[in-house]
Amino acid sequence: MALTTRRRALTTFGAALAGAVALPATRAIAGDAHRGPRPLWHAHAHNDYEHPRPLFDALDHRFGSVEADIYLVGDQLLVAHDPVELDPRRTLESLYLDPLAARVKANHGSVYRGGRRPLQLLIDIKTEGSSTYLELDRHLTRYQHLFTTYAHQRVHPGPVTAVISGDRAARAPMEAQTVRRAFYDGRLTDLGSPAPASFVPLISDNWTLNFTWLGDGPFPDAERLKLRGIVQKAHAHGQKVRFWATPDTAGPARDALWSELLAAGVDHLNTDDLAGLEAFLDAHERL
């Protein structure tokens, strides 16, 4: 790798927030007295808000990424999967922003005690993207010390990194900002585009629209090569990779698919089964 290329890679968003803070594999699963439980940075809580204790259940299972769907209703950001489930008591602030701010304060600046790596808060916009994002930006600004921030053409890591997914119309107002407290969730069509990792730090896509294998039988060689090529290309640009719509029923097929994702270097495994993924990752580390 040329020296200039290597320097460029080391200044990307992914290197700043991920590569420099990898935890040693020999650390005990339970953590230690100074740092607390070892976070599972590969673990992504899909539709996190549907668990009995949103956010807290994921943190109790040591997840490094959680997902909240939001709807703009007036000037409120309500968290729900479908419009019929909207409840004015279930706001982004009450379920996520206020609890995260309190936890970071209690842990002296980090979500996980002694940790230096940000928790990822994936915010999936369900209403019109541009107007919803502008209101979301006003909400995030009230918690400015909580979030990783892009300012003066640099990324300044914080305890939580907000990544905006969902309605694609959010992209335009985000790109227009010189200071923002959120980043954009790209798609495979963004892979290799001019957009830098400081704007698109994550590439997410639907597994079933890109691969036929669902964990039963051998992984086709062509699909394994395709997956590894996607991950290598993303990582070369300092971006992380996540797939949704992967099988999530406990059993050998799910374990086989998760194992292939880890082997390929996929950064986030998507699940609604918090305990199942926690057990899988702990067992995988002991192998």
Residue 164: predicted pLDDT: 98
Residue 2: predicted pLDDT: 43
Strand (E) positions, 26-62?
40-45
Residue 286: predicted pLDDT: 77
Tens digit of each residue's pLDDT, the chain (287 residues): 443 433 344 344 444 444 333 333 333 344 544 566 799 999 999 999 999 999 999 999 999 999 999 999 999 999 999 999 999 999 999 999 999 999 999 999 999 987 779 999 999 999 999 999 999 999 999 998 999 999 999 999 999 999 999 999 999 999 999 999 999 999 999 999 999 999 999 999 999 999 999 999 999 999 999 999 999 999 999 999 999 999 999 999 999 999 999 999 999 999 999 999 999 999 998 76
Alpha-carbon distance 246 to 190, whole Å?
A: 20
Residue 116: predicted pLDDT: 79
| Cβ-count burial 245-255 (b if 16+ within 10 Å, e if not) | ebbbeeeeebb
Residue 67 backbone dihedrals phi, psi, to 5 degrees: -125, 130
* Rg from Cα positions in the chain: 18
Residue 287: predicted pLDDT: 64
> Shortest CA distance to 200 belongs to which of 180, 185, 179?
185
Residue 36: predicted pLDDT: 67
Residue 19: predicted pLDDT: 39
Contact present, 111 and 100 (Cβ < 8 Å):
yes
Residue 7: predicted pLDDT: 38
Residue 210 backbone dihedrals phi, psi, to 5 degrees: -125, -15
Which residue's entry shows tokens 């949103």? 54
Residue 145 backbone dihedrals phi, psi, to 5 degrees: -80, -5
Angle at 263 between CA 244 and CA 120, to 5 degrees: 45
Domain 38-286 CATH class label: alpha beta
Residue 200: predicted pLDDT: 98
